[in-house]
Structure 1
Amino acid sequence: MLDSAIFKEAKQHVLDTLTAQMRKVPMSDQTMHTRLIIALQCWDAFERFFEQLKQTGEMAQIQLAQEEQKRKWYQLNR
């Protein structure tokens, strides 16, 4: 999912929108600046969570493949 074109496009759209909003907000509007920073931090947390899920899943697949190789090796060498 994280490598799909639609997810990458959506991710870029969110970042572009947040950046555009940050540039539009008047310097004196501290409340809106704070809200945008919080939104960006939430988005970063969202991305990190899904990246961690992806990496965890990849590690699980590697471990399963290694266990399968060991099983095959033991069966051949009995």
Structure 2
Amino acid sequence: MSLHNMRTIHGSKPNYSDEKRVGFAIRYSTPVVKQFGKYSKAILVQGNDSYNNFELVELPLERRMENNIVEYTKLH
């Protein structure tokens, strides 16, 4: 596992194994932030969003990550 600032250039060597390489990104921002391009989905962590810059999705209720991934992929 590695943690990076979003402005850090980073990479890794090619994956020659039969195992999948997984990337996972978490970004925290305030509701006032507006992204350009594709309309993004977000989970509101605290407070309320009066800016409507994101499509808000519900916080997953399942404890098993596999079930949450299945539900998340249905949204896309």
The normalised TM-score by structure 2 is 0.26
Tell me which of the two structures has the higher relative contact order, counting C-alpha pairs closer than 8 angstroms and 6 or more residues apart: 1
Q: Which has the higher strand share?
A: 2
Structure holding more helix per residue: 1
